[in-house]
Amino acid sequence: MQYLAPVRDRVLDNAALTSGDTLLDVGCGDGLVAFGGLDRVGQGGRVIFSDVSRDLLERCRELAGEAGVLDRCEFVEARAEDLTPIEDESVAAATTRSVLIYLPLENKPRAFEEFFRVLKPGGRLSMFEPINRFAWPEPADRFFGFDATPVLPLARKVKAVYERSRGDETLIDFDERDLIAFAEQVGFAEIQLVYEATVRHRAGVCWGGASSWEVFLHQSGNPCAPTLAEALAEALTPSEHEEFVAHLRPRYEALEGTERFAAAYLSAVKR
């Protein structure tokens, strides 16, 4: 929450919600932005929780029941690029956080079309998206922000697994200029975008943050991409695996990497 709460608050601030509004939170996840929006729309407003995951929507429903706000919530299973269950011009604001990044490039403009369709005239779109092109592709001698020079042939083998999986393709197929273009092409007016980028040397992995080696080993930046452990198992022989980990792990645990992270906050008005 130290990282996520400020993101949530900026997204909601840019949505400019007022009492009585209906907010649509697309890709709501476990409700970070949506539940924050409930306070802003007041007792006369409501929030539509939308996500592709039925399990997450049920979790949000449970949380809403526990909080006593179920009567002001609606739960819709839908993809960002196909919000068919939501009526035309039916919501005052639409929000997203890290949603476009998981859509194939051809579906990203469709999502903006849907956002525009469901918003009332004067409605506001507010979104936050990581811009991974800032950090990718990495220089050939780096692996997730760490110097891989001594094990460069092995690093190339592991990188090849990610390239073959195509699981990270959606994470790097757009940047902040595309977001502006998508919004403008569907008819949004008064488009504003704030781009932020940070670089920290002697830090964790290239996309920011630090965790234990075991967490790092078994995590993936994209549900469709392999974990590092899976990539190592596929790419390397047991002896190569041992050599690669012997090089990378101490550097990871000593925070000898470089964090590079960029993100964009976009807001726009439907006229």
From first to last of its 271 residues, the chain has per-residue pLDDT tens of 777 899 999 999 999 999 999 999 999 999 999 999 999 999 999 999 999 999 999 999 999 999 999 999 999 999 999 999 999 999 999 999 999 988 888 999 999 999 999 999 999 999 999 998 887 778 889 888 899 999 999 999 998 888 776 656 667 788 999 999 999 999 999 999 999 998 888 876 655 556 788 888 888 766 677 889 999 999 999 999 999 999 999 999 888 888 888 999 999 999 8
3-state secondary structure of 257: strand
Domains and CATH numbers, the chain: 4-130 (3.40.50.150), 134-167+200-259 (no CATH)
DSSP state of 107: G
C-alpha–C-alpha distance, residues 263 and 200, integer Å = 15
pLDDT value at position 169? Answer: 66
Convert the pLDDT of each residue in 64-103 to its tens digit: 999 999 999 999 999 999 999 999 999 999 999 999 988 8
pTM for the complete prediction? 0.84
DSSP H stretches of helix in 151-237: 152-165, 176-186, 213-217, 228-235
Q: Which two tokens stand for residue 258?
A: 């470089």
